[in-house]
Amino acid sequence: MATKKKVTKKVSKKKKKKTTKKKSTIMKVSKREPIKKATKKKTTKKKVSKKASKKKVAKKKVTKKKASKKKTSKKVAKKATMKKPVKKKTAVRKDGKKVLNGISDIRRFFLSNDEPLYFVSATNFNLLGADEWIRGFKFIVYVECFDGQHPNVFCPIEEIPHSEFQSIEEINNYLLEHKEVQDFIQKRGDGKNRGKALFLMFDEKTEALAKEMGLEICFPPAKMRQWLDNKVNTNRIAEKAKVPCVPYVLTKVNSYEHLNKVSKKLGTDLVIQLPFGDSGHTTFFIKDEKSWKKHAEEILAEKEVKVMKRINCRGAAIEACVTQQGTIVAPLMTELVGFKELTPYKGGWCGNEIYANVFTEKIRKQAKNYTERFGEQLRKKGYKGYFELDFLIDLDYDQLYLGELNPRITGASSITNHAVFALSDMPLILFHMLEWMKQPYKLNIKSINKRWLEPENIDDWGQMVIKHTKDTIEMVKEAPNSGIWKVDDSGAITFNRLDTHRRAVETENEAFFLRIINEGDYIYEGADLGILVVRGRLMTDEFELTKRAKTWIDAIRAEYKSELYTGPDKPELAEVGGFKFV
């Protein structure tokens, strides 16, 4: 009985708790008998086998699980409906132009371009292949490298009277004044808008001629480019951009004694650069009075020159593009400089290599960072578009220095615009063109620069500019064709097929040759015979020409058959190779 009472008390307490929640209309019952009955019922329930209670608990758990599964499935269904891709609306500006969003949009934009675009120059080498990326892109050239077989090259047939060319600017002005060229551009144009034009080099006269014809030049003004092209000004820009240069002084030099005085901190082994000109012609190495006298006349004639400490260095080059959203930087390249097999000029540029692990990772990253800084400084000065920087790597101290600026397309542009990184995204020249297309766009510049720095996005290529190195004037009787050539084990080469694209080179025993000097032309010291492009490297790790490179150079030279010119005066046609064409 005692145990029952205890039970009844516990039950009654539970009841009270439950009944307090019920409404007051429930009848009040007497305390003892109903409670006893209730306790009996409760106790009998408690006597129910444990198995049965476990089954009920199990059933409850199962039902709860089912319910929870239903709830979760409903949630998943809701989430699934939420995650359905929503078509992004293309951003449209007030002027009605759609904003190009990313690389694929920009590539499509150029492939469907309907505005005439031109590259006007001595040859089409620098932008070789651009016509495959841009619809309506044509080359207007003075030298026909492909014998009329290139579908997008226009070369006027008739040679009209002109003075001897002294520069590429003069060649371009000659082309714009040529009736055949004017007719060609007029036929492709639409009213006043005749399209847009790119030039390797141009001046104020070129700008006036282009304006007359209704062509827009896709580069900053010639006056700005000329100021930036000044090697003295390059160092001043570098100072503002915090890009290090080889220890230097900018000064007017009055005599050898004066040179020693102003360059006292730099030592006695010096390099002097004139403000303008190809580095092979206007860079002088001065270590004593004898070497000074050799170049004194040219140095004394300048108002200001750059005097540098001579360092033990390697040359490197990098191309980039200043855009409205930042500076896009291509990978670092080596430079072929001063090889007597290729050029008669000490310190003269004669080619490039591009490969994944060029120099060290530290140097590659420094070059990228310095180029971005320099590009930002150019942007502040109002410059936009393509540019190239030459760097010097101090081998004794592993230090990277800025060499010079080329505010334009260069001889290295062909190799930059054909490597894997460029083909995977798009060539650097398209980013340049985009700045003149009056087309809004969005790009992630940081991700592009990061991607282009990765080794897997860089394949191995080399190019050599082969010059006439003898101090002779000769007339060419036979010249090699442009296209794909093959070399055999003996070192002999044979012409394989016509091709207009350097990427047609499949193996390292093939090469793409672009002929510049043709049959009937005159050549003399420094004339560009042609450009040879190969897969793989052309130099050893010690920066000497490889055996393969020398084999190709000798074989191409052997394909030129010429006779010495013995006339009394220098022939006019020697102008074709008389200065740097690329």
Categorize the per-residue pLDDT at 8 as very low, low, confident or very high, splitting at 50, 70 and 90: very low
Same domain, 450 and 483: no
d(CA 112, CA 106): 10
Digit-coded pLDDT (tens) for 344-388: 988 889 999 999 999 999 999 999 999 999 999 999 999 999 999
pLDDT at position 53 over 70: no
Report if residue 226 sits inside a domain: no
pLDDT at position 49 over 80: no
Task: Name the token pair of 270.
Answer: 């010096």
d(CA 573, CA 582): 18
Tokens 């007017």 locate to: 252
pLDDT at position 46 over 50: no
Report if residue 31 sits inside a domain: no
Same domain, 521 and 389: no
Do the Cβ atoms of 270 and 286 come closer than 8 Å? Answer: yes
Do the Cβ atoms of 124 and 153 come closer than 8 Å? Answer: yes
Same domain, 454 and 465: no
In the chain, the number of structural domains is 4
Same domain, 323 and 450: yes
Same domain, 329 and 363: yes
pLDDT at position 549 over 50: yes
Q: Which of 22-31, 260-269, 414-423 is predicted with the least confidence, judged by mean pLDDT?
A: 22-31
Residues 6+ apart with CB under 8 A from 190: none
Report if residue 76 sits inside a domain: no
pLDDT at position 450 over 70: yes
Digit-coded pLDDT (tens) for 158-173: 999 999 899 999 999 9
CATH number assigned to the domain comprising residue 146: 3.40.50
DSSP string, 84-120: S--PPPPPB-TTSPBPEESHHHHHHHHHT--S-EEEE
DSSP string, 185-253: HHHHSBTTB-EEEEESS--HHHHHHHHHHTEEESSS-HHHHHHHH-HHHHHHHHHHHT--BSSEEEE--
Domain boundary among 181, 199, 218: 218
Categorize the per-residue pLDDT at 214 as very low, low, confident or very high, splitting at 50, 70 and 90: very high
pLDDT at position 515 over 70: yes
Domain boundary among 459, 494, 513: 459
pLDDT at position 149 over 60: yes
As a whole-number percent, the residues of the chain with pLDDT over 90 amount to 76
Report if residue 20 sits inside a domain: no
Mean of the pLDDT values across residues 18-36? Answer: 40
Mean of the pLDDT values across residues 256-272? Answer: 95
Same domain, 263 and 214: no
Strand order of the β-sheet with 153-154 is 153-154, 137-141, 117-121, 195-199, 215-217
C-alpha separations of 562 from 438, 448, 522, 528, 579 in Å: 50, 48, 9, 15, 19
Report if residue 365 sits inside a domain: yes
Same domain, 449 and 467: no
Digit-coded pLDDT (tens) for 81-116: 455 555 555 566 666 789 999 999 999 999 999 999
Same domain, 363 and 396: yes
Instruction: Give the DSSP H or E segment for 378.
Output: helix 361-380
d(CA 551, CA 543): 17
Same domain, 344 and 428: yes
Report if residue 395 sits inside a domain: yes
Domain boundary among 459, 485, 517: 459
d(CA 219, CA 385): 7
Average pLDDT, the chain: 86
Same domain, 488 and 431: no
Digit-coded pLDDT (tens) for 278-289: 766 889 999 999
Same domain, 271 and 401: no
Same domain, 337 and 277: no
Mean of the pLDDT values across residues 247-271? Answer: 96
pLDDT at position 42 over 50: no
Report if residue 565 sits inside a domain: yes
Report if residue 33 sits inside a domain: no
Task: Name the token pair of 474.
Answer: 């000769």
What is the span of the domain harbouring residue 413? 312-459
Angle ∠(216,217,222) on CA atoms, nearest 5: 135
pLDDT at position 24 over 80: no
